Structure 1
């Protein structure tokens, strides 16, 4: 059996049990503190402007350098995860952003805080690739959309939590304790995740069948405690190969790569152009830091409820259709928000806009993107797509500042709305449905440009 483990067929027929819940819990905790450390910038930057420690232009540099780190982290973990394994990738990133977060608490100047943020961003950017990729490989197709949605719920809940905590901590104690909370949380999860198993799918794709069989037997032994296991579904076996990164731009794959890039660019530029800047814009319009954080906290509650909708509907409507509908939702509510001046309606439309944006991240970036690529290059495909999105976000703060200072806040919302509507068109014409299907059945035909998986680790990624 060690020579033909059929990890995909054996994993896909397992019922949801303690093993899958452990994976979801530990991945979810990592995603939560990843989101916490990432989203704390919104409240922190508003406070730094109010204190005179920073300016809106320096904040733009901080946000851009954050996404430079996120881009490097997404690409790095894609290369490392496909080459050295999922387990290797999901541990190094937590150590990086947890440690750098603690160091940031002692930053003596905005220059130091920005430099530390770049390194922190490398670890933060890696977690999105690792978290969603890991869950997609361990959870059966019948529950994969729900599981990816649950991870998105946990991740996006951090947006509300960091705003809620910041509402009390920042006015009373300043911004530095926020980095202490985020750093300690990340390192705690790093300790808990030490014993997570390697992905049997990845092990088999690399020709490490004995290790894959050993992990599968452990998983099945735990799953069988709940009763007899369903019969194994026989999936077409293929010889383990190592494919170079150029496969992402080969015939049959490039359309998926470009679609994944478009999804990530829209999700990230749209979401961060709004959520990162809202507290700062409120402060610039004369609000106190406390009131601006209060407004941001109420709107951020939508970021927690949006993915909940995705979790409950993803396996019903599918990731392609869900991504399409979420993009249209965001485009409509961005336009509606741009016309609001009454504080009550600003909160209402901001709530639904942030809910739609987080729903879009759950459906598109989290659920749809990793499903588009097969095991052999899933992390590299997701990593390249997310790297492209992060690079786009590097430039976006300068565009946001330029539009805001020249034409006011509505112009920023018009640009965001246009981005979502364009993505909706792209998904409608070029998207494929992945719902209720094995990852192996979704995969494009194997590219001819491939090498045996036994090729030495020093081969080019």
Structure 2
């Protein structure tokens, strides 16, 4: 009896192969987010040295975000058409060389153009990396490993901050781009033996290649553990998904769920978290003190991602995202009413933890799980683009509310409302993906099933 690549991969015990794969993907995502966080220190240094102006720095930031938006779209298309490995490696190579070129930029105008190219690679890494990891990891551990990627990404904030503190004053801002470029290219080289996704290979009819890759993985895993038999193959309906299905009855539910968690997540990040120092100054703190307290609260990001590592596969995505959304909404409403700075700091830290817990489950785990292999990266990219568009609008909305008398109370009230909407949408219309074959949820949505584990599992086996 012939088994699919998905059935063979899903029954494998977790082993050295899975850890090595996760480490290679995590390294790329680490340098991806490291680059985002280094921008603040670099821009300050450029202005102080007279190399750029505040207005030019704004163009520098905008060029990066525009590149990331376009990069996400391109990565979705190339990853589904030409393979996960091709898209992951090509974009990392582009990002690495653009970063090294940025270190030698002759003026700010060149740097802005190079920042756009770097953004193309940055936007692709997250889309392809999270989606590709889930196509190898067994269902029972998929959430844990995806959350570990998020933890690696969040740890880059501390790394970028420390590196900026030690390197920029002593050696100059250009060396920050050297670090990123060298790290990205070293990761690219380490990934040269990264296998293509067998699920994707089978989805485009390349069965012999998929079989050879899975056989290699099985042989490695078998050296450390006995391999159980795959699930019994049951005939399933033909899955001929097209891009238009993302906006048709077949997959519209998945698309709307993916867009919802991305829009709320990005709005929380750029509509509240990045404004935390400003809110603290409004409460009477000095700028230095506000940055210190904001940094302390930001440790909640690591706490939230760490909790996701522990709880993602225990609680499940649907219950975890919906439940923690309501918790975050309550914390958001309480924050502006804190009677002391200590209470405000604790509430802020817990709010950060709740928001990043939701993000770890949503961005890295849940959204890629919602779409079928044929459209996984394009569906994830479409959802991500909706979030990035929201991130462009959110700062303008916050400033308008804050400066027109709304203050922190109104801003956190809007944040809480968005989180309640997310909790309701995921809680009422989401499907649980925990410990289920990767494509079973897409089949459930396409077939109009109720999303029960048994019906989904039966529909997914082929």
Q: TM-score range by the shorter chain?
A: 0.7 to 0.9
The residue number in structure 2 matching 1:444 is 443
What is the TM-score normalised by the length of structure 2? 0.86
Query: Counterparts of 1:311-390 in structure 2 under 5 Å?
Result: 311-340=309-338, 342-390=340-388
The question of whether the paired residues in 2 share the 8 Å contact of 1:41 and 1:276 is answered with no
The residue number in structure 2 matching 1:418 is 417
Is residue 147 of structure 1 aligned with residue 139 of structure 2? no
Runs of 5+ in structure 1 lacking a partner? Answer: 449-461
Determine the C-alpha separation between the residues in 2 that align with 1:177 and 1:282.
32
- The Cα shift of 1:173 comes to 5.1
The question of whether the paired residues in 2 share the 8 Å contact of 1:129 and 1:383 is answered with yes
Deviation per residue, 1:230-284 (Å, 9 max, x gap): 1111344568866331111121310110111111111122123344444577789
The residue number in structure 2 matching 1:455 is none
The question of whether the paired residues in 1 share the 8 Å contact of 2:253 and 2:445 is answered with no
The residue number in structure 1 matching 2:257 is 259
Quickly say closer, same or farther: Cα 1:423–1:239, change in 2 above 3 A: closer
The residue number in structure 2 matching 1:433 is 432
Q: Number of aligned pairs? A: 444
The question of whether the paired residues in 2 share the 8 Å contact of 1:266 and 1:389 is answered with yes
Q: Which moved more, 1:247-256 or 1:393-402?
A: 393-402
Determine the C-alpha separation between the residues in 1 that align with 2:397 and 2:164.
27
Determine the C-alpha separation between the residues in 1 that align with 2:241 and 2:217.
28
Quickly say closer, same or farther: Cα 1:95–1:286, change in 2 above 3 A: farther
Q: What RMSD, in angstroms, separates the aligned Cα atoms of the two structures?
A: 2.9
The question of whether the paired residues in 2 share the 8 Å contact of 1:63 and 1:397 is answered with no
Runs of 5+ in structure 2 lacking a partner? Answer: 448-462
- The Cα shift of 1:111 comes to 5.0
Deviation per residue, 1:167-213 (Å, 9 max, x gap): 44445555443333222222221111111000111111111010011
The residue number in structure 1 matching 2:199 is 201
The residue number in structure 2 matching 1:90 is 88
- The Cα shift of 1:332 comes to 2.6
Quickly say closer, same or farther: Cα 1:262–1:87, change in 2 above 3 A: same
* Structure showing greater relative contact order (alpha-carbon pairs closer than 8 Å, 6 or more residues apart): 1
- The Cα shift of 1:327 comes to 1.8
Question: Which of 81, 90, 98 pairs up with 1:100?
Answer: 98
Q: Which moved more, 1:353-362 or 1:216-225?
A: 353-362
Is residue 125 of structure 1 aligned with residue 117 of structure 2? no
What is the TM-score normalised by the length of structure 1? 0.86
